[in-house]
Structure 1
Amino acid sequence: MPAVLPRIRDLLAGLDDLEPMPDAPGKSGARLRRGRRDGHSYVVKFIDAGRDWTQHASGVLGGPIVPLWQRGILDRLPDCINQPIIAVADEGHGSHRRTAILMHDVARWLIPPVDESIPLSVHQLQLAHLATMHATLWEPGAEFDVVPEMHRYLELSPWTAWTEAAIGSDHVVPPLLDRGWQLLPQVAPRAAAIVGPLALDPGPLVQALGGTPQSFVHGNWKLDNLGLDDRGRTVLIDWELPGIGAPCGDLAWYLAINCRRLPQSKEAAIADYRAALEAAGVDTGGWWDRQLGLALLGALVQFGWEKAFGGYDDELAWWADRATEGARYLG
């Protein structure tokens, strides 16, 4: 198994001209630096356990990348995935624990963080490669259980807002969670009545999803974390919430967080993902409707706060309808 270096200075050895990357997207509190070694460009991500609110939410001290690396999970990804991590270091304990991740510099391949829709061909490749990853790692072993499914549905909950406020966090996202969850009952009372209780206790949702097929999920399949390299592979970064879970959960997250940039309808994207999963050898008969319904409900459990800021527009109305439909699978 790949070794985790015990000192960050060992990971940084030989890197020259480390400079901050202030324009890199991301709101977790991690710091990014770019440097060079032997004529090649690299990026180092520094994660401070005392400051990274996404690490607090994941419940994995040191961050999920440490067990992913130690267990060799990243080496088992399919060939269509280009993951750029080449070394991990982890030092300290408790709130003083620090993790550093050394990566090839893949910035030139990442999808630009702009407002325009992405090309249909790029979008469909992301769905196809997501399905291939799920099919390759279908019904995985216990070593893939990194971030519990429960934690994926609690990360953007009111609990995170309240916890970060209690420790004096100065991050941007947690206060937005609190405001958004308070706003949702005003703009979408029907949806709030369904997802509000689940945002506080996603146990019924997690239990229902656990009765459907499981795979290894990335947990944050958003455009800021994706790209296409010159071989047509999906560049995949930012392992924030990986673990065993419902594959449709990754799909639902993708549809929810990237909604303003999708070049086709959500229904068409769902059909494309399912076709890719079938083409990769997964039989979706018998479980698909139930898992998809629960996963779409789960996406509003994760993003109801964010959708509320746009008012009751077509986007929120679509998710409210899916939440109503998905709730029938909870029993």
Structure 2
Amino acid sequence: MQVAGSIDELLADATDRRPLDGPGKSGARLERVTIGGTPYVVKHLDHDADWTLRVADIPGSATVELWRRGILARLPACFNQPIVAVAHDEERPTLAALLMHDVGEWLVPATDEPIGLEQHERFLRHMATLHTTFWETEIDVVSPSTRYLELSPRMAAAEAALGSDHLVPRLVAQGWPLLEDVAPELAAVVVPLVHEPGPLVDALATTPQTFVHGNWKLDNLGTDQWGRTVLLDWELPGVGAGLSDLAWYLAINCRRLPTSKEDAVATYRGELERQGVDTGGWWDRQLGLCLIGAMVQFGWEKALGGRDDELAWWEERVLGAAPLLENG
């Protein structure tokens, strides 16, 4: 699909341009504009300002690449895909932009309250639909290794060397050393993988693969008036284990889930099977490995919260699944 050669070209007819505050923590800048009487939101992407773009290391951005390949146009109908045009600046290749319908009214409110059960289960069913739509299809935008290294000490050190003052890299740097103090057995499994995720990636590659979004946090999600799921911020998409999206969802949204993690897993699995995916034979292996993977991504965050029931839940699952790494 067409990609505008400059942001100026993308916004040539825009009027009433105003900055827009949002919950993003990556460094992206949002702007509200009007084109032809219709309101839009522009997400400005700058590799020099956005640490997530530096991690993915995709020219323009992973989202621009998905648009260029037409992958976003192939999303199942249960999704509200708001992007209508994109630009990758030819003269300033570190810059890109996404022109989107304004879906702000439908996004999950940024509070600490649990979301509704119906919405939660819809998110899980639609997640499964995304995965079944691309089942065993390899879309190699961002690699699994890159995805598992996004929140690693390596990333935090690279950002510190650049003089970056973004909050998340600083918290990552603080959290990983704490994990060895508050949960040493958990750390013994996941910390080596934080530095070299190869054993985890190789083990997961023996299970079914699909196309994953990579960031199913509630800040990126919403439900429109037709019951479709709004899914934003395709910063780390590509081939991967479907359950890695589920494990990420359980880890990052843990305080706002209206059900147990076990019930959420069962809802997702039930939808896969309803759509014709046989989960026998590989399910337990992929689930265990992806729960390990979630702590490769979020062990630092759990450590910052201290030793509580949340950390204990993950520790029990990771220790139980650790032998799967040895049997890869």
Q: How does 1:28-43 map to 2 (within 5 A)?
A: 28-43=26-41
Q: 1:120·1:263 contact (CA, 8 Å) conserved in 2?
A: yes
Q: Distance in 1 between matches of 2:217 and 2:94?
A: 27
1:158 aligns with 2:153: yes
1:7 match: 6
1:4-25 deviation per Cα after TM superposition (whole angstroms, max 9, x unaligned): 1101111112211111112x11
Q: 1:293·1:329 contact (CA, 8 Å) conserved in 2?
A: yes
Q: Distance in 2 between matches of 1:170 and 1:189?
A: 29
1:185-244 deviation per Cα after TM superposition (whole angstroms, max 9, x unaligned): 111111111111111111100010011000000000111101011110001111011000
- 1:119 alignment partner, one of 111, 116, 121: 116
Q: How does 1:70-85 map to 2 (within 5 A)?
A: 70-85=68-83
1:221-280 deviation per Cα after TM superposition (whole angstroms, max 9, x unaligned): 111101011110001111011000000000000000000000000000000000011111
2:96 match: 99
Shift of 1:39: 2.5
Shift of 1:177: 0.5
1:108 aligns with 2:122: no
1:176 match: 171
Q: Distance in 2 between matches of 1:151 and 1:306?
A: 19
Shift of 1:61: 2.6
Moved more, 244-253 or 162-171: 162-171
1:255 aligns with 2:253: no
Q: Distance in 2 between matches of 1:160 and 1:66?
A: 22
Q: How many percent identity over aligned positions?
A: 60
Unaligned runs of 5+ in 2: none
Q: Distance in 2 between matches of 1:304 and 1:17?
A: 43
1:129-179 deviation per Cα after TM superposition (whole angstroms, max 9, x unaligned): 0000100110114xx210000011000000000001111112111111010
Unaligned runs of 5+ in 1: none
Q: 1:4·1:87 contact (CA, 8 Å) conserved in 2?
A: yes
Q: Distance in 2 between matches of 1:297 and 1:173?
A: 21
2:50 match: 52
Q: Distance in 2 between matches of 1:293 and 1:317?
A: 15
Q: Distance in 2 between matches of 1:139 and 1:25?
A: 34
Shift of 1:92: 4.3
* SS at 2:324 equivalent: coil
Q: 1:149·1:244 contact (CA, 8 Å) conserved in 2?
A: yes
Q: Distance in 2 between matches of 1:166 and 1:5?
A: 33
Shift of 1:59: 2.2
The 3 A distance-change label for structure 1 pair 256 and 93 is farther
Moved more, 54-63 or 194-203: 54-63
Counterpart code for 1:6: G
Q: Distance in 2 between matches of 1:190 and 1:270?
A: 24
Q: Distance in 2 between matches of 1:324 and 1:21?
A: 44
1:136 aligns with 2:133: yes
The 3 A distance-change label for structure 1 pair 203 and 93 is farther
Q: Distance in 2 between matches of 1:265 and 1:123?
A: 11
- 2:184 alignment partner, one of 182, 189, 195: 189
Counterpart code for 2:126: H
Counterpart code for 1:254: Y
1:145 aligns with 2:102: no
Normalized against structure 2, the TM-score is what? Answer: 0.98
